[in-house]
Structure formats: C-alpha cells, structure tokens
Amino acid sequence: MDNKKIVTQRFRRRSRMGRRTKEMTAIAKERMHILFTLAERESVENKNLPRAKRYVELARKIGMRYNVRMDRYFGLLVCRSCNSFLGNSASARVRTLGGKIIICCKNCGRVKRIPLRSKRTRE
Ligand SMILES: [Zn+2]
C-alpha cells in the first residue's frame, strides 16, 4: 500500500513540471481562447462582470502554467491588476488623449495607456 502511494505521488508531482510539448501548449492556447471568448460574451452580452472576471482568471492561470501569452486583442481588454474584462462601459472608461488610448478600469482604477502610433506600425 505504502509503495503504491509513493509511486502515485511521484507521478502527480512530475505531471506539472518539465518541458511543455507542442501539443500541450496548443491545447492551452485553445482553452485560453475559449475562456476569453466566454468572458467577452459574459461581459458584453449578459453584463455578468464577476463571471467574466472568473473566466479571465482561469485563462491567465492556464497561460502562466504553460508559458502562453494572451492574444493581443484580449490583452488589451483585460485589466492587469484585477483581471476584469474591460469590454463594456460598465467596466471601463475609454478616452483618447495626446495620441494615446487611455483605458481606465472602473473596478480597481488601474489606467492603461496604448500609443496609437507605435514603433512597430511606423516601420
Ligand atoms: Zn482593474
């Protein structure tokens, strides 16, 4: 009995560590995309902000575990400090000022500034 326990524990510990194969990251990306689209739907259509936030949290956790970055589109719509989805007017204030888009999270007050003419687009 004891021997079996040790074996399963070792297996469990190993399953989270080590190299991430291509299949693993592909599945992680897919899962994150699904969760972000769900978050978008909850935020924009159903106005259920806590649920959208929960979806974003789960997606970010998956991303951290498998070293996968957010899509650029969703990266702009997520608050970095409280994980709120900034997709509608109830959760974010969006203005332009001095050649920048300024997105203010209404939940925690974090401000995000996105330059309209970045170095990448000028090239
Ligand atoms: Zn926030």
Determine the distance separating the centroid of ligand 1 and the alpha carbon of 67, expressed in angstroms: 23
- In the reported structure, the alpha carbon of residue 75 is separated from the centroid of ligand 1 by a whole-number distance in angstroms of 13
Domain borders along the chain are 2-122
- The single-letter code of the amino acid at 64 is M
Cα–ligand 1 centroid distance for 40 (angstroms) = 15
Pure H helices in the chain? 2-16, 22-41, 49-66, 72-76, 119-122
52 three-state secondary structure = helix
Token pair recorded at residue 12: 């469990």
d(CA 80, ligand 1 centre) in Å: 7
**pLDDT per residue of the chain (123 residues) written in tens, 0 to 9:** 556 655 555 555 556 667 788 899 999 999 999 999 999 999 989 889 999 999 999 999 999 999 999 888 898 899 999 999 998 888 999 999 999 999 999 999 999 999 987 666 554
How far, in Å, from the CA of 102 to the mean position of ligand 1?
13
